[in-house]
Amino acid sequence: MPLLKLSLSVKLDEDTKTSLLQNLSKTLAEGLGKPENYVMVAIDDGVAISMSGEIGPAAFADVRSIGALDAKINKAFSKKLCTLLNEQCEIPPDRIYINYTDIDASYWGWNNSTFG
């Protein structure tokens, strides 16, 4: 917690993927006000994605967190994420969907237990 799971239609080279993972981890921690040592980021690149009936550069991001999500935070993080994906992956912001889910602490397991 928090988790950012990212599916990209573009295939990334290892250097870009490593840089993106590091940038996303830091950006998510800062954006949600959570310690980065609890942040997990997963990237699945080269996925077949159709958006608006068209094949091309696109992304789907699934953001989950125990608390820290609200309309203001989600809007600000959406802008940061879209900017980052546009700069590092050349995916236009209008080809990025983001889903936000607030998870109850008792429904998130870690280290032989749960957070709640």
Condensed to tens digits (0 to 9), the pLDDT of residues 85-100 reads 999 999 999 999 999 9
**What number is the average pLDDT over the span 27-33?**
95
What is the total residue count of the chain?
116
pLDDT tens per residue across span 46-72: 999 999 999 999 999 999 999 899 999
Query: Given this model, what pLDDT does residue 1 score?
Result: 83
Q: For residue 80, what is the DSSP state?
A: H
Token duo for residue 78: 């959406």
Q: For residue 7, what is the DSSP state?
A: E
Q: Which residues are catalytic?
A: 2
Query: Given this model, what pLDDT does residue 13 score?
Result: 94
Would you list the domain boundaries of the chain? Answer: 3-114
With bands split at pLDDT 50, 70 and 90, how would you rate the model's confidence at 77?
very high
Task: State the CB neighbour count (10 A cutoff) for residue 114.
Answer: 13
> pTM above 0.75?
yes
- CA–CA dist 17, 25 (Å, integer): 12
* CATH number 2.30.42.10 given to 3-114: no
